[in-house]
Amino acid sequence: MFADQRRNLIIEILTEKGTVTVNDLTNLLDISAATIRSDLNQMEKQGLLIRTHGGAMLKAEETDTTFDKTYENREKKFRAEKQRIGYSALKYIHDGQCILLDASTTCFELAKYLSETKMKLTVVTSGIATAAMLKENPYLTVIIIGGIVRNSSNSVEGLLGEELLRKINIDLLFTSAYAFNTRDGLSDFSLYEVELKRVMVSVSNQVIALLDHSKMNKSSSATFARPDEMDIFITDKHVSEEIRDFFAANNIELEIAE
C-alpha cells in the first residue's frame, strides 16, 4: 500500500472515530507500528491531525469542518463565495467548446449558470448531480464519466473513465480541491477521486482552478495538479503577496471574484 493510500485511509478512520491508537491502525491496515507512527508524524506536520500518546485525534475545530466530506454538507458551506467564483468562471466558456467539470461543489455552482445557457457546449463531468441538472438543457451535450459511485458522494471515482477522457478533446477543465499551497498545488483527501482528477488535468488544454478562501495554504493527502499545470486560478478573497508573486512567476492568471 502506498503512503498516500495509507494516509487517506487513516483520515477516513479518524473522521469516523475521532481518535485512534497506533495499535488500532496496525490491526485495521495490517501495517507495522513503525510505519503508522511515521505516517501520523508526517500528517501532523501537514496539519491533518494531532498526535496523542499512542495515537492521534482530529483537531476539535476541524471535526465539523475540515473533515466534513459528505457532498450535502460541503455544498452548503461558503455557498455565496462559490457562486461568485462560478459566475466569474463563466466568461471563459465560449460557444462550441468541450468543457470538463469535476464533481466539486464549486463546479456545481458554475453548472447552475450553465443550466440556463444558450451556448452549444459539450460538457463532460464526473459529478452525478451536475450531469442530472445539465441534461435538461437542450443546448448541452452531457457526457458523464464512468466509474465507481460511493455512499454520500456526488463523484464518480476510479480510472474506468480514463479511456473515454483520452478520446475527447477537452478545451477547458474546471476543478476545485480540498487544499492548495504553492509547494504541492491542488490536493484532495480521496485517493480514488484524485486518480481520476490527475487524468482530467493531463487531457485538458487549459486548467482553471476554482477555490474559495478556506482552501488556501492547506495541504491534503494527494496532489492531482502541480502549480505548473494550472493556467487560471479563481478565488473569492485577495491572497497573500507571496502567493500573488508565485502566480506571477509561474504565469498563472489570478482572478478575485468579488
Is pLDDT at 58 greater than 50 in this prediction?
yes
All CATH 1.10.10.10 domain ranges in the chain, comma separated:
3-62
Q: Is the per-residue pLDDT at 18 higher than 80?
A: no
The Cα 229–Cα 237 span in angstroms is 22
Q: HEC states along the chain? A: CCHHHHHHHHHHHHHHHCEEEHHHHHHHHCCCHHHHHHHHHHHHHCCCCEEECCEEECCHHHCCCCCCCCHHHHHHCCHHHHHHHHHHHHCCCCCCCEEEECCCHHHHHHHHHHCCCCCCEEEEECEHHHHHHHCCCCCEEEEECCCEECCCCCEEECCCCHHHHHHCCECEEEECCCEEECCCEEEECCHHHHHHHHHHHHHECCEEEECCHHHECCCCCEEEECHHHCCEEEECCCCCHHHHHHHHHCCCEEEECC
User: How confident is the model over 21-53, as pLDDT tens digits?
Assistant: 999 899 888 889 999 999 999 988 888 889 998
- pLDDT for residue 134 is more than 90: yes
For 187-234, what is each residue's pLDDT tens digit? 987 777 888 999 999 999 999 999 999 999 988 778 999 999 999 999
161 close to 126: Cβ distance less than 8 angstroms: yes
**Pairwise pLDDT comparison (18 vs 16), residue with the higher score:** 18
Over residues 13-19, the mean pLDDT reads 76
The answer, yes or no, to whether residue 73 has pLDDT greater than 80, is no
Query: Would you say residue 7 has pLDDT above 90?
Result: no
pLDDT of residue 65: 43
Range of weakest confidence among 160-164, 203-207, 247-251: 160-164
Q: In the predicted model, what is the mean pLDDT of the chain? A: 88
Cα distances (angstroms) measured from residue 74 to each of 143, 152, 177, 181: 24, 11, 12, 20
Contact 183, 220 (CB under 8 A): no
157 versus 130: which is more confidently predicted? 130
Quick check: 184 and 195 in contact, CB under 8 A? no
φ/ψ (deg, to 5) at 108: -65, -35
Q: Measuring CA to CA, which residue among 203, 104, 120 is closest to residue 161?
A: 203
What does the buried/exposed string (b/e) look like for 131-169 if buried means 16 or more CB atoms within 10 Å of the residue's CB?
bebbeebeebebbbbebeeeeebbbbbbbebbebbeeee
Residue percentage of the chain with pLDDT more than 70? 90
* Residue range(s) in the chain whose domain bears CATH number 3.40.50.1360: 71-256
15: confidence class by pLDDT, cuts 50, 70, 90: confident
2.130.10.10, 1.10.287.610, 3.40.50.1360, 3.30.70.3400: which CATH number matches 71-256?
3.40.50.1360
In the structure, what pLDDT confidence band is assigned to residue 67 with cuts at 50, 70 and 90?
very low
- pLDDT class of 156 with cuts at 50, 70, 90: confident
Distance, CA of 97 to CA of 217 (rounded, Å): 32
- Could you name the CATH architecture of 3-62? Orthogonal Bundle (1.10)
pLDDT of 61 strictly over 80: no
pTM over 0.85: no
**Whether residue 81 has pLDDT greater than 90:** yes
